[in-house]
Amino acid sequence: TVVCEGDKGLLASLERFMPPDPQGRPSGMVFNLAEGIQGEKRYTHVPAMLEMAGVPYTGCSPFGIGLTGDKVITKMLIRDQGVPTPNFRVMRRGTENTGDLRFPVVVKPREEDCSFGLQIIHEHSKLRQAVEVIVTQQAQDARVEEYIEGREICVALL
């Protein structure tokens, strides 16, 4: 087992650790836990490099990661399959119409995961400021969705 940085030296590190077999195929598999280094779609970099080099790896393809990285698109695809999700709006200013959203709401970046940047807003008067924080600090739209009481559970599947 070796831990490699997911940077421009990744493929050279892997070749030293997993030299090709006699048929020229990689002699192992990468257990991909990469978070990425920089950029809007940083989670796709390592699997894209591995895919281009023909190195087998665990986890989603770059396309799958890119698609599910946009939580608004993900929510719409899930809803299209009949899975209920909290009502939501995408906001850029915080002054947009909230429609039928019930407070409290959760305000979070459109393209982040876990609880990164999450804010729970109980009053409509605080919504604009919460959205502005996401838009200015994360340089992306804010996802505003109805709060659901309960625990957040994150599950990794192999």
Q: Which sign does the torsion angle of CA 139, 143, 149, 154 carry?
A: negative
- Residue 145 in this model has a pLDDT that exceeds 70: yes
Note the pLDDT of residue 124: 92
Between the two ends of the chain, the Cα-to-Cα distance in Å is 18
Query: What is the reported pTM?
Result: 0.73
What percentage of the chain's residues is helix, strand, coil (to nearest 5)? Answer: 35, 10, 55
pLDDT tens per residue across span 50-79: 898 888 898 889 999 888 888 999 999 999
Please list, in sequence order, all residues whose beta carbon lies within 8 angstroms of the beta carbon of residue 82, skipping any fewer than 6 positions away.
none
Could you tell me if 104 and 121 are in contact, meaning their C-beta atoms sit under 8 angstroms apart? yes
Task: Report domain extents, the chain.
Answer: 10-67, 86-146
**How far apart (Å, rounded) are the C-alpha atoms in residues 3 and 151?**
32
pLDDT tens per residue across span 106-129: 999 998 776 778 899 999 999 999
Note the pLDDT of residue 135: 94
Q: Which helix (H) or strand (E) holds 14?
A: helix 10-17
Q: Which CATH class is domain 86-146?
A: alpha beta
- Residue 147 in this model has a pLDDT that exceeds 80: yes
